[in-house]
């Protein structure tokens, strides 16, 4: 299989897009570490499902915003599954508010998790990838980081930063055989969309006429971590039903 013998770490993989990514990578041969922050039961279920597809899998608790927890998570994965070949920075949160109403914690938590968290994880695995001259990193950004959305100044700043980070890191490590790309999902049917207002109105602007599924994001991530995308690095692929062209 395409990813046989590879070890993948997917952050925020207890549900939503991260869960589907972890399961799809496992179905394609990767051993997977399922990171979670608080949803242990769900993460264990994802782990069991990955094991059912014949791969090794572990669930590993860490808040990506905490550099020490990230270091210890990476150590655990190295010990239990082996060195990390594939990192998918998926963990993300939203605290949607208008800027005028935004608290310090609304701002800082979103930046800490969505942006600094991804950088923490990349920094923890990059040296090992550099030494092995091989590695794949995919950052789950958002359409919000490209076009901006009212009510998401914190989130779009973090995701826009993540896109810029993707490009800089891609340039830094390209010659060492490490590829770094991002995907920018639009409206995907996950818990994050639960509180979304005016769904019908948004739908009118999506050429494909529906919201996306987490599995559809996972398929693009699989492509980006496989050898089939070997000439792609530093790219941001929008998965949004054509919403932004």
Partner 1 sequence: MSSNLEQTEQRIKKVIADTLKVDESLVTKESTIADLGGDSLAALRILSALEQEFDISLSDEDARKIDSVPIAVEVIQSILVTQK
Q: Please identify which of the residues 13, 14, 124, 155 carries the catalytic annotation.
A: 155
CB of 127 to partner 1, least distance (A): 5
> Cβ closer to partner 1: 46 or 173?
173
Determine if 130 is a binding residue for partner 1 (CB under 8 A).
yes
Closest CA to 21 of 41, 49, 1: 49
> Cβ closer to partner 1: 130 or 203?
130
CB of 133 to partner 1, least distance (A): 9
Determine if 176 is a binding residue for partner 1 (CB under 8 A).
yes
Determine if 131 is a binding residue for partner 1 (CB under 8 A).
yes
Helices (H), the chain: 16-27, 40-52, 67-80, 104-111, 117-132, 144-147, 153-173, 199-203, 214-225
Determine if 127 is a binding residue for partner 1 (CB under 8 A).
yes
Query: Measured between alpha carbons, how far is residue 202 from residues 95, 193, 196, 235 in Å?
Result: 20, 12, 10, 26
CB of 66 to partner 1, least distance (A): 19
Number of residues located near partner 1, criterion CB under 8 A: 8
CB of 86 to partner 1, least distance (A): 17
* Cα 106–Cα 110–Cα 111 angle in degrees, nearest 5: 115
Produce one character per residue of 111-124: b if its CB has 16 or more CB atoms within 10 Å, e if not: bbbbbbbbbbbbeb
Binders in 65-84 for partner 1, by CB under 8 A? 78, 83
DSSP letters spanning 200-226: HHHHTT-TTSS-B-HHHHHHHHHHHHS
Is there a catalytic annotation at residue 205? no
Residues in contact with partner 1 by the rule CB under 8 A = 78, 83, 127-128, 130-131, 175-176
Just list the catalytic residues.
155
């Amino acid at each position: 299989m395409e990813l046989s013998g590879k070890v993948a770490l997917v952050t925020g993989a207890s549900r939503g897009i991260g869960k589907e990514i972890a399961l799809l990578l496992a179905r394609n041969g990767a051993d997977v570490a399922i990171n979670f922050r608080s949803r242990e039961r769900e993460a264990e279920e994802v782990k069991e499902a990955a094991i059912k597809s014949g791969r090794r899998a572990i669930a590993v608790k860490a808040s990506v915003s905490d550099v020490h927890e990230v270091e210890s998570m990476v150590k655990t994965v190295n010990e239990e599954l082996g060195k990390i070949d594939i990192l998918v920075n998926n963990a993300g949160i939203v605290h949607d508010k208008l800027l005028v109403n935004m608290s310090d914690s609304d701002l800082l938590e979103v930046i800490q998790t969505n942006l600094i968290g991804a950088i923490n994880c990349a920094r923890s695995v990059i040296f090992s990838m550099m030494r092995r001259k091989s590695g794949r990193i995919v950052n789950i950004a958002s359409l919000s980081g490209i076009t901006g959305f009212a009510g998401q100044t914190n989130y779009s700043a973090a995701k826009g930063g993540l896109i810029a980070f993707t490009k800089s890191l891609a340039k830094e490590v390209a010659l060492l055989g490490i590829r770094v790309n991002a995907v920018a999902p639009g409206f995907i049917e996950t818990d994050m969309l639960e509180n979304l207002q005016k769904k019908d109105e948004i739908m009118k602007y999506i050429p494909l006429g529906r919201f996306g599924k987490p599995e559809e994001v996972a398929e693009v991530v699989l492509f980006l971590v496989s050898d089939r995308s070997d000439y792609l690095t530093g790219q941001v692929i929008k998965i949004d039903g054509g919403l932004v062209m």
